[in-house]
């Protein structure tokens, strides 16, 4: 008797390099949007530019770009690890990203010496990074076309 092998359906393979390129793209896109929101808020609310008396300015453009990129690359790292060890990594990653976003938003409630506009801008920036990471990092399965 010859042994019979059963082959599993091929799962689309995303290399770690592709995951990190996608994360870098997500970070760049979110940094551009976050900088635009910062500019809009800066023009609308003076506390973002000046800060409280005796304090440094609360935001600066380099920090916005840096933290957008770091957040997206962190998401890419988490997805790369999940992709390696979990069967349904895309679904699990969506849940993990949502939980991390909720935790980061809850943490913003504890921001001291920040006005409501600062907290709102930070919350929006977190949401932007999360959405771009969820959109770009896991990639999309190829659509099967009906004949």
Cα–Cα–Cα angle for 134, 139, 144, rounded to 5 degrees:
125
* pLDDT interval class at 115 (50, 70, 90): confident
Would you tell me how many other CB atoms lie within 10 Å of the CB of residue 2? 4
Query: Mean pLDDT over all residues of the chain?
Result: 82
How far is the first Cα of the chain from the last one, in angstroms, to the nearest whole number? 39
Q: What percentage of the chain's residues is helix, strand, coil (to nearest 5)? A: 65, 0, 35
Q: How far, in Å, CA of 126 to CA of 21, rounded?
A: 20
* pLDDT interval class at 144 (50, 70, 90): very low
* pLDDT interval class at 125 (50, 70, 90): very high
pLDDT of residue 146: 42
Q: How far, in Å, CA of 137 to CA of 26, rounded?
A: 7
pLDDT over 90 for what percent of the chain? 52
Q: How far, in Å, CA of 109 to CA of 72, rounded?
A: 22
Which of 71, 58, 68 has its CA nearest to residue 34? Answer: 68
pTM: 0.78
Sign of the C-alpha dihedral computed for residues 35, 41, 42 and 44 taken in this order: positive
Whether 12 shows a pLDDT value over 80: the answer reads no
With a CB cutoff of 8 Å and minimum separation 6, the contacts of 104 are 126
Whether 140 shows a pLDDT value over 80: the answer reads no
Task: State the residue for tokens 């996608």.
Answer: 22
With a CB cutoff of 8 Å and minimum separation 6, the contacts of 111 are 118, 119, 122
pLDDT of residue 25: 97
């Amino acid at each position: 008797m010859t042994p019979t092998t059963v082959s599993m359906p091929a799962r689309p393979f995303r290399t770690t390099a592709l995951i990190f390129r996608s994360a870098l793209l997500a970070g760049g896109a979110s940094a551009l949007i976050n900088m635009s929101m910062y500019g809009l808020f800066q023009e609308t609310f003076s506390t973002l530019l000046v800060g409280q008396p005796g304090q440094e300015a609360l935001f600066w453009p380099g920090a916005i770009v840096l933290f957008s990129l770091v957040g997206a690359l962190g998401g890419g790292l988490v997805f790369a690890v999940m992709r390696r060890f979990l069967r349904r990594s895309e679904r699990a990653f969506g849940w993990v990203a949502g939980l991390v976003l909720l935790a980061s938003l809850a943490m913003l409630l504890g921001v001291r010496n920040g006005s409501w506009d600062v907290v709102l801008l930070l919350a929006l920036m977190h949401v932007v990074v999360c959405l771009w990471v969820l959109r770009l990092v896991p990639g999309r399965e190829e659509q099967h076309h009906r004949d």
